[in-house]
Amino acid sequence: MKLFQNKKMLIILVTLVILGGGIGFYIANMLMPKPAPKEKHEPIFFTYPLQEFVVNTKDGRFLKASIVLELNEEIPIKSEAAAAEGKKVVLEPKAKPILDALTPELRNAAIIILSSQTYQDLITSQGKERLRQMLFQKFNQIVGRDIVKDVYFTNLVMQ
């Protein structure tokens, strides 16, 4: 009978120790300062798609291209109101009207550059990259500011 009572005491003692440890752990976690949550800065991308192009190339082939412009987040020129506050002008919606107005010039430049290519120019990845760089430079030259951050081909087919 004495052995049976010692087992009961042992079980009660172990249960109290486990409960006490759990309660102590819970209280310690509540009292410890929590690390500040990390702010997620997801990049903001503004894009401006140009209508699809179909042109005759220099060597008599057809080239079909879809181009999307990645725009800088801010226009590097300050407006008078923003200059008074010492801030840059946020790109959206400021760049969209600029690009809308310049779309005919951008498309014309793209057509001239695309139609001056040959199959041999565009068969390699270096040729496609060279074409992308030519378009990038011409588009920023037309806009007159560094609004265009990058140029992407979303479709490029030659026949």
The domain spans of the chain are 46-158
The answer as to CATH 3.30.479.30 being correct for domain 46-158 is yes
Phi then psi dihedrals of residue 72, to 5 deg = -65, 155
Sequence-distant (≥ 6) Cβ neighbours of residue 49 within 8 angstroms: 66, 67, 68, 69, 154
- Cα–Cα dist 44/41, whole Å: 9
Q: Tell me which H or E stretch contains 108.
A: helix 91-115
Q: Write out the chain's pLDDT in tens, 159 residues.
A: 555 567 777 778 788 888 788 787 778 777 777 777 776 655 556 888 999 999 999 999 999 999 999 887 655 444 455 445 554 444 455 677 888 899 999 999 999 999 999 999 999 999 999 999 999 999 999 987 778 889 999 999 998
Which pTM does this prediction carry?
A: 0.62
